[in-house]
Chains A and B, each alone.
Chain A
Amino acid sequence: MTKSKSIKWFNLNRSLHRDIGYFCIGMTLVFAISGIALNHIHQWNSNYNVTQKKVKVEFLETKIKQSNFEHSLLAELNEQGIIKARFWQDENTLKLFIKNKTLFVLPKQNLIIIEEIKPRFLLRNLNFLHLNEAKKAWTWFSDFYALLLIFLAISSLFMVKGKKSVTGTRGFIILAGFIAPAGFVFYYAS
């Protein structure tokens, strides 16, 4: 009687571990991919692709004083859309904003720098979730995911019986998983 009961618990644990594991695949990929992307954001901007293009425009210092300057500049640069806002950053730099683009107008140098910002669709959204920009229900859903991960970690201890169980030499693998982060804390935080 006791034996059959323990086998049922064993099977239930394995089934739950398997199905919850399947459910967690999506979320794990979201956090793992964005985790790498965010860890290395100083080396590579995973949120946006920012490009700059330099264009020489003759007689810019004269043209900027004309009333139709902005309209004619867009035409000359073959840029679509309307100028949403303008701002003199300093005496020598005027910023003109169009959709997802900033035009740096440098009249003294007869130069226009066109900076274009393109959000990277997948990584931007993954980072959005990882950093909990959504807040609200996403906070609760990601808490739920964290609880599921705790379940997966604990239930994995009871997945296998016998020689290959955690009570054997494989227990050292678990120990290594605790020692590694503790080692980093000891080395870097102390």
Chain B
Amino acid sequence: MKYCFKLSVVIGYLLMFGINVYAKEINGGADMSKLTPISKILATPENYYKQPATISGTVVKVCKKRGCWMQLATDKAYETLTIKVPDGEMVFPMTAMGKTAYATGTLKAIEMSLEQTNQRLKMKAMPAVTKPMTLYRFSPTGVTIVD
């Protein structure tokens, strides 16, 4: 009986630790054969609304509470692309910050109003504009995080 109890405790701990080993590949991981620079995707965004691509970049920000989004640095100064999933579909760990993420998925365009555009620019300490902008988000189906 004591042996059974000890064994179940050991199995429990192994499961707890084992889970973290596999956490680097989320939802089966990214498809490396579709690797495309973010700048290329953002240059012709309409090509990637349906056609899946894999992007990569340094993780510079992660949703602190639910891990439902993270921002990847692009090759342009100050520019990031947000990877967003519905709550619970995938969870991005906060410990991914500073690591390189690969994400396979499609691009989504969100048309902002002029007010929303200028609010975002103000948050980034950038000058206001007179025309509304389009916000791009990446919807991943699989993500790999590499240290």
Chain A interface residues toward B at CB < 8 A = 26, 41-42, 45, 47-48, 50, 84-85, 87-92, 95, 97-100, 102, 117, 119, 125, 128-129, 131-135
Contact = CB atoms under 8 A, between A and B. Distances in A.
Interface stretch (B60-68, B110-118, B129-137): B60-68
Interface of B: 12, 16, 19-20, 22-23, 26-27, 58, 60, 64-67, 73, 77-78, 88, 90-91, 93-95, 97-100, 124-126, 147
Contacts of B99: 84-85
B57 to A, nearest CB: 9
List 6 tightest A-B contacts by C-beta distance, closest first.
A97-B98, A84-B98, A85-B58, A85-B98, A87-B60, A87-B73
Nearest to A102: B97
A45 B78 contact: no
A84 B95 CA distance: 12
A140 B73 CA distance: 37
Contact of B97 (A117, A128, A131, A135): A117
B139 to A, nearest CB: 18
A12 B97 CA distance: 54
Contact of B98 (A50, A102, A129, A131): A102
